[in-house]
A and B are shown apart, each in its own frame.
Chain A
């Protein structure tokens, strides 16, 4: 199974800050990496698919990058509504596996 190591597990930042969250795969996942936002009590929402493709309707302050085993989600200017937990998902091979999550709060 491909292990996804996500960091940090917790992040506190100020409104307007640039924020980065990382996922490292235990083997090459060929850019089959998605990022999700999950707010309390809600279903995960797709932000970025296949490393760097912005899902329809998602603000452009969200972006993704990476290749091979290392991937990054960037929020260019943190907004209050971005408070949530963020997960990565590798869908390169079954069993598909998720990162353990990053809880993002506003300072």
Chain B
């Protein structure tokens, strides 16, 4: 059974950093591109970033370029999102997803950016 479990969220002050993790199981992690998607409170979904199966390529939405870094450790079957210079508008639930048609998603982790 495919499972994606996010961790690392919480309350953080504007301008500070936070790192999210997503532990994957039930499939061959290093065969798949992976992604982060966010959903602000009572808002729609937004794609945040994608990383290729081997980590060689990364892609970001414009609003997070230069502030967020997606990475992965295939030996640990874990996906990461390093979020720096956080802003109030980054407040959202963050989901990791397997990017083969975004077919499996984690339960999400809440990130609140507030002073």
Contacts and interface: CB of A to CB of B under 8 A. Distances in A.
A55 to B, nearest CB: 7
Contacts, number: 43
A88 B84 CA distance: 30
Given A87-B45, A99-B44, A100-B44, A94 B103 contact: no
A10 interface: no
Interface residues of B, number: 18
Contacts of A43: 95, 105-108
B101 A95 contact: no
B59 interface: yes
A91 B47 CA distance: 10
Nearest to B50: A94
Interface string B42-76: 00111100100000000101100000000000000
Interface residues of A, number: 20
B102 interface: yes
A46 B97 CA distance: 11
Contacts of B108: 43
B61 to A, nearest CB: 5
A91 B105 CA distance: 15
A94 B58 CA distance: 11
Interface of B: 35, 44-47, 50, 59, 61-62, 95, 101-108
